[in-house]
Structure 1
């Protein structure tokens, strides 16, 4: 069965790989990009099934118009993928105000606005699927990634709540939590880090900076395999709320949740003691 997808940020990484796989199997893709010429090759190769729409997800006022255009041209959109995003790393005190705003606007507020814009259309057509690209960093943390984690934890909170909110309308919501994959993510993150403060040089944050800027470091995640699982998930019943991809993602999330649960259990008596008698 042919599906129509709306995907943000299709010029690289997960968005690009997903778009190529979908087009190759015969689906239709409406892909948003900040730089239209970055997908000229897709427009040329898939003239009938690929449509690019210029959009910077941080320009919130433009989002409703792009969404209306997409639904007007295609009538029905089966899957909406909130993919556009990037990583901001560095000590919290070394981040500039503009860096903080841009990170939250891109990774969190933009997807919220896009989702709010598509929901009336999905309800009207009788349902659909929404995917939110998170990371294991939406449940576990590393030092030196405070704003990135803030954006992804916020993303997961929004879509986790939304899943129950829209399920009566036959709208399924899935949060995708991949680990490291061989994309340009680390290279881009390493090039746009916050200020390097000498006080943090010999701390775990210094090791993070070295890893992000090491050209020899290659994550274990296979991008093609990950995307195939994401694409296949839209046909799963019941709709998966979360999809964990990669050994590093599984291990980090498992460790974080286990430690968090143990901490809660240890506080049971104290927590219950604060209820009214």
Structure 2
């Protein structure tokens, strides 16, 4: 088994914690970031200098580059950069505040973009590496009541897919991880907008009972983390990892529906070509 060094944002809980624990247990080095001091004291005590810790709130965009640069400077080569930090904002577009909109997009999209941009000069200089972006079934499908969360994840999808082509000549692989509903602490960090009476009983209204009636996800977080870790051995890097039977069903259904909307327009699309 190849020993690697990983950089992972948001290792205090959820998938970030799952990744860090499994990697450290098997002997890899991990550079992890957290927002709250003291949230991973147990990992520091157990693994010592194999666990490098940086304090980072990814909404502090200039700070991202400082922390990434420091990790590479202190650890030397970092083989895999995992962009994991994020959360969900649910509610109809009218139900969330301007501040919530800005925070969601900054955390999930701009934070991801700037983490990747900060790591790329180092990965190019060392001759390659891997970028892994935690996305979601919500990056490939859309449901009323989660428009801002979808906006952040669809933005990440477009950025990373284009980036994969940009950095492939430098030996840098890019993978988007697409989990469905998983048994993590995602629901505990979920933010929900203030309900408007106009949306009661509409498709978007489900979010206001989501936390009370949320079905347990089918995805096993430990199995998902293991599959993501194993993907680093694949060459070339898989652009997408669809994880969970629920994710597969939702995503394939969404893609088929999109094709069904577009394909009947082949002739009318051509009518707007120059010279027609």
Corresponding residue number in structure 2 for 1:214: 213
Distance in 1 of aligned mates of 2:4 and 2:208:
41
* Structure 2 partner of 1:24: 25
Matched, 1:262 2:260: yes
Q: Does 1:61 align with 2:62?
A: yes
Are 2:186 and 1:185 equivalent residues in the alignment?
Answer: yes
Compute the displacement of 1:152 (Å): 0.2
Tell me the secondary structure at the aligned position of residue 65 of structure 2. helix
What whole-Å deviation, never above 9, does each CA across 1:106-148 have from its counterpart, x for those lacking one? 0000111111111010000000000010001001011100000
Is the contact made by 1:36 and 1:52 (CA closer than 8 Å) also made in structure 2? no
Offset of residue 272 of structure 1: 1.1
Is the CA contact (8 Å cut-off) linking 1:2 and 1:26 kept in structure 2? yes
Contact 2:192–2:207 under 8 Å retained in 1:
no
Q: Structure 1 residue 63: deviation in Å?
A: 1.3
**Alpha-carbon deviation of 1:33?**
0.5
User: What TM-score do you get using the length of structure 2 for normalisation?
Assistant: 0.97
Q: CA deviation at 1:64?
A: 1.4
Task: Return the TM-score normalized by structure 1.
Answer: 0.97
Q: What does residue 142 of structure 2 align with?
A: 141
Aligned counterpart, 2:163: 162
Give matches, 1:71-220, under 5 Å. 71-189=72-190, 192-214=191-213, 217-220=215-218
CA distance in 2, matches of 1:94, 1:111: 25
Distance 2:144 2:211 in 1: 13
1:212 Cα deviation after fit: 2.5
Question: What CA distance in whole angstroms lies between the structure 2 residues aligned with 1:263 and 1:202?
Answer: 27
Does residue 1:11 correspond to 2:4, yes or no?
Answer: no
Summarize deviations over 1:68-96 as a string: whole Å, max 9, x none: 11011111000001100000001111111
How far apart in 1 are the matches of 2:212 and 2:4?
A: 39
Q: Quote how far apart the aligned CAs of 1:206 are.
A: 2.4
Matches of 2:207 and 2:169, distance apart in 1:
43
Alpha-carbon contact 1:36-1:53 (below 8 Å) kept? no
> SS of 2:133's equivalent?
strand
Q: Please, which runs of 5 or more residues in structure 1 have no aligned partner?
A: none
Runs of 4+ in structure 1 off by over 4 angstroms are none
- What is the CA-CA distance between 1:199 and the residue it aligns to? 1.6
**Structure 1 Cα separation of the partners of residues 196 and 21 of structure 2:** 41
Where does structure 2 lack aligned partners over 5 or more consecutive residues?
none
